[in-house]
């Protein structure tokens, strides 16, 4: 499976934008980039996913590099409630039938300062 | 409430005892999953189910048993608990899981301690 690399932790201030990077240099052409986050003492929750074009939803934006070897999750205006571990996960055509579930790495621990 | 729930939220047991962790979802999702989360390992898949009466092993199935007689329930049983099974267990569900765009919805987790 293609792997992802994320910084262990990042710190940001409340009400400022946050850019969470993810490197995936071995990504294949059909791999989708998914982001999940895990708030303290909760289960992971889906944030966003994309293939090539930048994507936006109510939670965040996903910016994907032109060569697709990296991506950035953007929280436009971080709040204290955005403090969580953010996971960048690749899913490709080989991920059929649920046999592999989701492959979580260690993610990035985002700290928000008031 | 609608969604995915797990019970109990916290459980302390002793080595050798049988323990069952419950998972219930109200969306009628076909797929359900069990993960465990340990420090240094992230989340790892234990078992999954594609539909009622269809289950299969994930990455770390040893020591666990699952069943799925109803679509909405997916219990996980530790037949003889060991200290190495001390972990946080998460249940998840998905309407489908064959497409690379499919997503999972997670429950709040059960923190299990085996003494």
Nearest to A36 by CA among A49, A26, A20: A49
pLDDT of amino acid A53? 87
- Interface residue B27 vs chain A (CB under 8 A): no
Looking at the partner chain, which of B44, B98, B108 has a beta carbon nearest the beta carbon of A42?
B108
Q: Cα B38 to the chain's mean position, in Å?
A: 14
Question: Quick check: B48 contacting A, CB < 8 Å?
Answer: yes
Nearest to A35 by CA among A96, A102, A94: A102
Determine the residue among B5, B43, B48, B88 to mutate to test chain A binding: the one whose Cβ has the most chain A Cβ atoms within 10 Å.
B43
Q: Judge: B103–A98 Cβ closer than 8 Å, yes or no.
A: no
CB contacts of A100 in chain B (<8 Å) are 45, 58
The tokens describing A81, both together, are 């409630």
Name every chain A residue with its beta carbon within 8 A of the beta carbon of B44: 104
DSSP sequence for B47-102: EEEEETTEEEE-SS-TTEEE--SSTTB--EEESS--GGG-EEEEEEEES--SSTT-
The average confidence (pLDDT) of chain B is 94
Nearest-angstrom CA–CA distance, A84 and A69: 24
A3 contact B CB<8A: no
Contact B106 A43 (CB under 8 A): yes
**Whole-number percent of chain B with pLDDT over 70:** 98
Least Cα distance to B99 among A51, A11, A54, A108 occurs for A51
pLDDT grade for B99, boundaries at 50, 70 and 90 = confident
CA gap A16, A10 in Å, rounded: 13
For the residues of B16-57, what is the DSSP string, one character each? T--EEEEEEESS--SEEEEEEEETTTEEEEEEEEEETTEEEE
What is the structure's pLDDT at A99? 54
Tens place of pLDDT per residue across chain A (114 aa): 568 999 999 999 999 999 999 999 999 888 999 999 999 999 999 999 999 989 999 999 999 999 999 999 999 999 999 999 999 999 886 554 445 788 898 999 999 999
Decide if A101 and B35 are in contact by the 8 Å CB cutoff: yes
Give the model's pLDDT for residue B100: 82
Q: What percent of chain B has pLDDT over 90?
A: 89
Calpha distance A53→B102 (Å, rounded): 18
Nearest CA in chain A to B49: A98
* Chain B hits for A32, Cβ within 8 Å: 100-101
């Amino acid at each position: 499976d293609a792997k992802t690399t994320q910084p262990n932790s990042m710190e940001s201030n409340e009400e400022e934008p946050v850019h969470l990077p993810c490197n995936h240099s071995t990504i294949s052409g059909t791999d989708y980039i998914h982001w999940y986050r895990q708030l303290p003492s909760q289960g992971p929750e889906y944030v966003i996913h994309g293939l090539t074009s930048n994507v936006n939803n109510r939670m965040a934006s996903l910016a994907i590099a032109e060569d697709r070897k990296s991506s950035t999750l953007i929280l436009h205006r971080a709040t204290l409630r955005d403090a969580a571990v953010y996971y960048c996960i690749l899913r490709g055509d080989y991920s059929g039938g649920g046999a592999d579930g989701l492959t979580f790495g260690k993610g990035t621990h985002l700290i928000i300062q008031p | 409430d609608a969604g995915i729930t797990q019970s109990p939220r916290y459980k302390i047991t002793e080595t050798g005892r049988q323990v069952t962790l419950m998972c219930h979802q109200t969306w009628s999702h076909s797929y359900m999953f069990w993960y465990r989360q340990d420090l240094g390992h992230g989340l790892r898949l234990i078992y999954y189910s594609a539909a009622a009466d269809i289950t299969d092993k994930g990455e770390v199935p040893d020591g666990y048993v699952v069943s799925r007689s109803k679509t909405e329930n997916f219990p996980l049983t530790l037949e003889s608990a060991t200290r190495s099974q001390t972990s946080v267990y998460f249940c998840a569900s998905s309407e489908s899981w064959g497409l690379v765009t499919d997503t999972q919805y997670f429950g709040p987790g059960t923190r299990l301690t085996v003494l």
